[in-house]
Amino acid sequence: MIRHIGDLPALKECGTLYVPEDIPHAELAGLFTTRNNERFSHLRNLKLESTTSGPLEVVINALQRPLDVLELYVGDNPRPVALLNLTTALRQHTCTTSLKRLSLKTGAPEEGDEDQDSAFFAPLFALKGLKQLNVSSHYTSKVTDRDLLGAAAAWPCLEELIFEGHITDHNVTLPGLAPLLTKCPRLTILVIPVLPVPFDTGILDPNLNSEVDLLNLSSLVAVAAADVEGVSRCLARLFPKLRVFLIDMDARGPELGWSAVGNGLDAHLGRIVSY
């Protein structure tokens, strides 16, 4: 089927293509290779799914088209080097200037599997025109303030950043969000796990005026009772135009303090923030 789809001259978008892992990589590459600049010549929206990341890496390397949208789903829990190889394939792709939306999802880790890092993230900085990034993977819990600093410099057009899935760690701090808010002026939707610890907002750029109006901190880390007011104050300074502050159902218990933070935001912003 893939062979025939590739010969459709006007094909710009297709439904999710499942890429079997039992096809030899050389044969698989041949199915997607843009020989004579003809196969998949107008394809701009690509959705790929496979049990492991290897076949997806092969397809990306073979299919050199200026994609606008790319969605990748890996059914299993890829090893760090496998996920890094997959994102590195994107760094070397012809879509580095054209890609506007990227979605990357991986399967859940097995119990006791903590072999993860954030190395997969940096190769995505080559996607200079990126507007929307959605990563649903336990690997997002390894992203740090340093990683966000690189993202802020790489993606000036970013409008939506969503990190979800199997969050086991929190390595991003509240002040670590500031570079994104300063250097990505179009950012309006932010979903990211953070450590809810207040900081001195005097260190922020006085001209910071983030456009983010939907925020989800995706955190199951409890806000200490003594920190609720401080966290609310920091969030109000970071997100002065906030309209929706989402709290995951698992984090709504009063013992975690996030609902109290939402109430504090109402007071600091002088309006009711939906949450």
Cα 107 to Cα 85: distance, rounded to the nearest angstrom: 17
Token reading at 100? 């506007």
Q: Residue 233 — φ and ψ, nearest 5°?
A: -65, -45
Q: What digits encode the pLDDT tens for the residues 166-186?
A: 666 788 999 999 999 999 999
Q: How confident is the model at residue 89 (pLDDT cuts 50, 70, 90)?
A: very high
Cα 239 to Cα 189: distance, rounded to the nearest angstrom: 11
How many structural domains compose the chain?
1
Any domain includes 122: yes
Any domain includes 92: yes
Check residue 1 and give its pLDDT. 60
Any domain includes 140: yes
CATH number, domain at 15?
3.80.10.10
Q: How confident is the model at residue 141 (pLDDT cuts 50, 70, 90)?
A: confident
Cα 161 to Cα 135: distance, rounded to the nearest angstrom: 8
Check residue 263 and give its pLDDT. 92
Q: Residue 2 — φ and ψ, nearest 5°?
A: -60, -40
Any domain includes 227: yes
Q: Is the pLDDT of residue 91 over 80?
A: yes
Any domain includes 77: yes
The three state secondary structure string of 174-185 is CHHHHHHHHHCC
Any domain includes 275: no
Domain that holds residue 112: 2-269
> How crowded is residue 103: how many other Cβ atoms within 10 Å of its Cβ?
16
- Sheet containing strand 160-164, strands side by side: 17-18, 45-50, 69-74, 101-106, 132-136, 160-164, 189-191, 214-216, 244-246
Check residue 42 and give its pLDDT. 85
Residue carrying the six token digits 């005026």: 209
pTM over 0.85: yes
Any domain includes 274: no
Q: What digits encode the pLDDT tens for the residues 10-43?
A: 788 887 889 998 999 998 888 887 556 677 888 8
- State the amino acid at position 141 in one-letter form: S
Strand partners of residue 214: 189, 244
Residue carrying the six token digits 């969000």: 177
Give the closest residue to 158 by CA, choosing from 210, 118, 100. Answer: 100
